[in-house]
């Protein structure tokens, strides 16, 4: 689990609580003698809460969806593969892009921005964790170039041929230039 | 980075608190968002507290909006309609009424009696103008209240918490339903109240105007008649001209004053008796429709590992409603085709014959006597006009009354039967209630 996901989950719980009661979530009670739940159990409880909240039309309209699958476009740019993923409101540091065994995995977190004084009125833009996996159709480099501009994540995978040429042309930092 | 145990524990506590809040519908005296809209709003269903809260707020908003927007405008429009009808009726029949009253005034023990003329003229004219005014109010009530009532209901619901909770489309539909429920009730109440309230008012106003203006008008008319070779029509023409505007003005003024309070009382009574049920049932209906998946409402747009869910196949109740509506319409249409025109045709014929039997002879006799008494010879046009004036209103009233009664009876009988038949057909085909699974409701 992403280390900061727990904070975002707590934000979502607070949002649901506010939407239902109109009040802030009470401060956590002191720990009891009961055994501490595992992270897996807490995650399951969170999923149950989410599902329960979605059974109410009134709540569904006011609490934004938690977790999402961002839409993406894939282009062939010359011999390179260019993937554009729509992730508005996401910081570059919150995105992870990995390519292994011919599969490109893009995951990350869109953080909420709600302050404690804000009350949920209508929530449609999803936040929380996102995830996309894409089978790369051609033999490509496993080291993607990633950039984020105006909410669009651009992932470029160079073809193996181009990649090799680039590596050959670029002197190694350990080798002194002549 | 590892997750601290106390963070996980805090999250767990928060989840449990939220879970309890969602399941219980939330505390009723919460602040923040809830406070803004009169308390926290919990889940629909359960003990109905949530629905009750919505209904209470919508009811109060509509009450204020209807009082503010409908009462004054409706009374002004109805007064304008009634005034127009009074003007037409006065122009059309005042001459004939004066002629008849003059004849009756000659029949006193001491010859011509002006008081008797006044009384007879006031009675005839007052009754006729009352009928026309009430008729105008009944006919105009729909238009007078519909637009404003619609706006008042719509805006009240759109600005209430209903629109925030259920969305603007649902709010529109709820506003429309409430308007439908109130409209016919309000219309009937206004028409009935106006009939009672205006009778004495119009009679008094006519009587006063006639008493004040008739002597002077008669003097002017007699002078004109003498200078015109003794033609009684000149007398009638002058009296009509001098009396017409005064009667019209006084009556219209009285109607306007009395209608204001009549409409206000009718609005208050309708809001008192009908509004709570109308609001509650409109909201319940929409909530039920949402719960069972009418339309394409989607709950939870997320698609990730913990994403939202989709509820409702989309058109179950809609399809059921459409099917039932079609079936009822079909059943009803068949019955109308078979019986309605036949029944109404025979009714009109019967009423016309009856009215002619009762009134035509008397009308012809009166018209001839009038001509003889006024010494104007036998003018076919004047006799025709006099006969028409004597029976036209009665014919209209008796036929209209008969049609209204027959229609109400027909609707009671056949609409009920059509609905019952359509519903039982639907049930047989498994389209309602128990048969919901065949429509995709699982």
When comparing pLDDT for A148 and A67, which is higher? A148
pLDDT, position A175: 43
Distance between CA atoms of residues A97 and B404, nearest Å: 77
For residue B201, give both structure tokens: 């008012």
pLDDT string in tens for chain B (442-residue length): 455 677 888 888 889 888 888 877 653 333 333 333 333 344 444 445 566 777 788 888 888 888 888 888 888 889 999 999 999 888 888 888 888 888 888 776 777 788 888 888 888 889 889 999 998 998 888 888 888 898 888 888 888 877 777 777 888 888 888 988 898 889 888 988 988 889 889 999 999 999 888 888 888 888 888 887 777 788 888 888 888 888 989 999 999 988 888 999 999 999 988 888 888 888 877 776 665 544 433 333 333 333 333 333 333 345 556 667 777 777 777 666 666 777 777 778 888 888 777 778 877 877 777 776 666 566 777 777 777 777 777 787 788 878 877 777 777 777 777 777 766 665 555 444 433 333 333 3
pLDDT, position B321: 60
| Cβ-based contacts of A14 with chain B (< 8 Å) | 14, 18
Nearest chain A CA: its distance from B2 CA (Å): 7
List all residues 6 or more positions away from B337 whose beta carbon is below 8 Å from its beta carbon. Answer: none
pLDDT, position A72: 94
CB interface of A with B, residues 5-34, below 8 Å: 6-7, 9-10, 13-14, 16-26, 28-29, 31
CB–CB of A22 and B36 under 8 A? Answer: yes
Q: Is the ipTM of this complex over 0.90?
A: no
pLDDT above 80 (res A10): yes
| Top mean-pLDDT range of A72-81, A157-166, B357-366 | A72-81
What is the tens place of the pLDDT at every residue in A32-73? Answer: 666 778 888 888 889 888 888 887 777 888 888 988 999 999
Distance between CA atoms of residues B303 and A65, nearest Å: 9
CB–CB of B11 and A29 under 8 A? Answer: no
Distance between CA atoms of residues B358 and B304, nearest Å: 84
Q: Which region, left, alpha or beta, applies to residue A157 given φ > 0 means left and ψ of -120 to 50 means alpha?
A: beta
Distance between CA atoms of residues A87 and A127, nearest Å: 10
Query: Of A57, A63, A93, which to mutate for an interface test with B (greatest number of B Cβ within 10 Å)?
Result: A57
Q: Whose CA is closest to A26, among B306, B31, B165, B5?
A: B31
| Cβ-based contacts of A96 with chain B (< 8 Å) | none
pLDDT, position B297: 37
- The label of the residue with tokens 């939202």 reads B308
Starting at the edge strand found earlier in the chain, the sheet holding A152-157 runs A72-77, A80-86, A152-157, A145-149
What is the tens place of the pLDDT at every residue in A88-113? Answer: 999 999 999 999 888 999 999 998 76
| Cβ-based contacts of A57 with chain B (< 8 Å) | 44, 165-166, 290, 297, 299
Q: Of how many residues is chain A composed?
A: 178
CB–CB of B309 and A19 under 8 A? Answer: no
| Cβ-based contacts of A122 with chain B (< 8 Å) | 164
Q: Which helix (H) or strand (E) holds A103?
A: strand A103-110
Distance between CA atoms of residues A74 and A80, nearest Å: 11
DSSP code of residue B379: -
pLDDT, position B406: 77
pLDDT above 70 (res A30): no
Task: Provide DSSP, B292-335.
Answer: TTBTT-------STT-------BBHHHHHHHHHHHHHHHHHHHH
When comparing pLDDT for B188 and A176, which is higher? B188
CB interface of B with A, residues 309-328, below 8 Å: 309, 311
CB–CB of A14 and B11 under 8 A? Answer: no
Q: Whose CA is closest to B215, among B238, B249, B248?
A: B238
Average pLDDT, chain A: 82
pLDDT, position B314: 34
List all residues 6 or more positions away from B119 whose beta carbon is below 8 Å from its beta carbon. Answer: none
Distance between CA atoms of residues B25 and B41, nearest Å: 7
Rounded to 10°, the helix B5-24/A5-21 angle is 20
CB–CB of B7 and A39 under 8 A? Answer: no
Nearest-CA residue of chain B relative to A30?
B10
Nearest-CA residue of chain B relative to A65?
B302
Of B2, B22, B290, the CB nearest to A16: B22
List all residues 6 or more positions away from B399 whose beta carbon is below 8 Å from its beta carbon. Answer: B348, B351, B352, B355
Of A3, A14, A20, the CB nearest to B22: A20
pLDDT, position B432: 45
Rounded to 10°, the helix B341-355/B380-428 angle is 150
CB interface of A with B, residues 43-82, below 8 Å: 45-61, 65-69
pLDDT, position A33: 63
Distance between CA atoms of residues B294 and B317, nearest Å: 5
CB–CB of B33 and A42 under 8 A? Answer: no
| Cβ-based contacts of A18 with chain B (< 8 Å) | 32-33
pLDDT, position A71: 95
CB–CB of A10 and B11 under 8 A? Answer: yes
Distance between CA atoms of residues B304 and A67, nearest Å: 5
Distance between CA atoms of residues B297 and A119, nearest Å: 23
Nearest-CA residue of chain A relative to B5?
A36
Q: Which helix (H) or strand (E) holds B270?
A: helix B232-273
CB–CB of B12 and A42 under 8 A? Answer: yes
Nearest chain A CA: its distance from B167 CA (Å): 9
Compute φ and ψ for B398, nearest 5 degrees. -70, -40
DSSP code of residue B337: I
CB pairs under 8 A between A and B: 180
Of A7, A52, A56, the CB nearest to B19: A52
Q: Whose CA is closest to A154, among A102, A80, A101?
A: A80
Pairing verdict, β A127-135 and A145-149: unpaired
Task: Say if B29 is an interface residue toward chain A (CB within 8 Å).
Answer: no
| Cβ-based contacts of B15 with chain A (< 8 Å) | 13, 42, 45-46, 49
Of B7, B297, B304, the CB nearest to A131: B304
3-state secondary structure of B49: helix
* Separation of CA A132 from chain center: 9
Of A1, A45, A131, the CB nearest to B12: A45
pLDDT, position A146: 95
CB–CB of B164 and A37 under 8 A? Answer: no
| Cβ-based contacts of A9 with chain B (< 8 Å) | 11
Query: Of A14, A16, A22, which to mutate for an interface test with B (greatest number of B Cβ within 10 Å)?
Result: A22
Q: Whose CA is closest to A124, among B93, B321, B301, B350?
A: B301
DSSP code of residue B395: H
């Amino acid at each position: 689990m992403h280390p900061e996901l727990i904070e975002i989950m707590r934000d979502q719980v607070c949002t649901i609580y506010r939407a239902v009661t109109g009040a802030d979530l009470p401060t956590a009670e002191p720990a009891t003698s009961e055994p501490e739940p595992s992270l897996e159990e807490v995650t399951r409880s969170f999923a149950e809460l989410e599902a329960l909240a979605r059974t109410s039309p009134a709540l569904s309209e006011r609490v934004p969806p938690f977790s999402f699958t961002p839409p993406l476009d894939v282009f062939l740019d010359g011999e390179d593969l260019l993937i554009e993923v729509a992730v508005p409101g996401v910081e570059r540091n919150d995105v992870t892009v990995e390519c292994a065994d011919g599969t490109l995995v893009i995951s990350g977190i869109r953080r909420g921005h709600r302050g404690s004084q804000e009350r949920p009125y209508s929530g449609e833009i999803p936040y929380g964790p996102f995830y996309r996996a894409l089978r790369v159709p051609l033999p490509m480099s496993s080291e993607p170039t990633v950039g984020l501009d105006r909410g669009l994540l651009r992932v470029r995978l160079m073809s193996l041929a181009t990649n090799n040429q680039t590596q050959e042309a670029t002197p190694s930092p350990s080798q002194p230039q002549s | 980075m590892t997750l601290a145990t106390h963070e996980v524990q805090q999250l767990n506590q928060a989840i449990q608190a939220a879970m309890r809040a969602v399941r219980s519908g939330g505390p009723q005296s919460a602040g923040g968002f809830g406070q803004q809209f009169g308390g926290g709003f919990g889940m629909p269903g359960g003990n109905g507290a949530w629905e009750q809260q919505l209904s209470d707020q919508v009811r109060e908003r509509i009450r204020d909006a209807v009082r503010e927007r409908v009462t004054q405008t409706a009374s002004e429009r109805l007064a304008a309609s009634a005034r127009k009808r009074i003007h037409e009726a006065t122009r059309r029949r005042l001459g004939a009424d004066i002629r008849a009253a003059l004849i009756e005034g000659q029949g006193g023990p001491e010859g011509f009696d002006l008081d008797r003329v006044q009384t007879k003229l006031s009675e005839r004219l007052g009754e006729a103008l009352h009928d026309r005014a009430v008729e105008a109010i009944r006919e105009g009530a729909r238009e007078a209240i519909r637009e404003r009532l619609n706006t008042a209901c719509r805006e009240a619901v759109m600005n209430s918490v209903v629109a925030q909770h259920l969305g603007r489309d649902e709010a529109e539909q709820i506003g429309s339903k409430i308007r439908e429920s109130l409209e016919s009730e309000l219309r009937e109440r206004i028409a009935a109240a106006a009939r009672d309230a205006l009778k004495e008012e119009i009679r008094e106003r006519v009587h006063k105007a006639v008493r004040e203006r008739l002597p002077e008008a008669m003097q002017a008319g007699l002078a004109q008649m003498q200078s015109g070779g003794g033609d009684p029509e000149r007398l009638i023409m002058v009296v009509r001209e001098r009396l017409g505007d005064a009667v019209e003005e006084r009556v219209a003024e009285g109607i306007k004053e009395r209608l204001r309070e009549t409409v206000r009382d009718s609005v208050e009574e309708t809001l008192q008796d009908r509004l709570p049920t109308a609001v509650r049932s409109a909201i319940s209906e929409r909530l039920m429709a949402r719960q069972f998946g009418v339309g394409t409402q989607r709950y939870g747009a997320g698609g990730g590992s913990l994403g939202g869910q989709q509820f409702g196949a989309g058109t179950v109740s809609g399809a059921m409603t459409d099917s039932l509506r079609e079936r009822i319409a079909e059943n009803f249409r068949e019955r109308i085709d078979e019986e309605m025109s036949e029944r109404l045709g025979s009714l009109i014929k019967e009423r016309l014959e009856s009215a002619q039997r009762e009134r035509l002879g008397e009308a012809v006799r009166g018209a001839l006597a009038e001509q003889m008494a006024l010494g104007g010879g036998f003018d076919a046009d004047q006799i025709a006009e006099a006969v028409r004036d004597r029976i036209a209103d009665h014919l209209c009233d008796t036929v209209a009354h008969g049609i209204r009664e027959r229609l109400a009876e027909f609707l009671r009988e056949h609409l009920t039967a059509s609905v019952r038949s359509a519903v039982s057909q639907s049930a047989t085909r498994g389209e309602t209630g128990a048969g919901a699974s065949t429509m995709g409701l699982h």
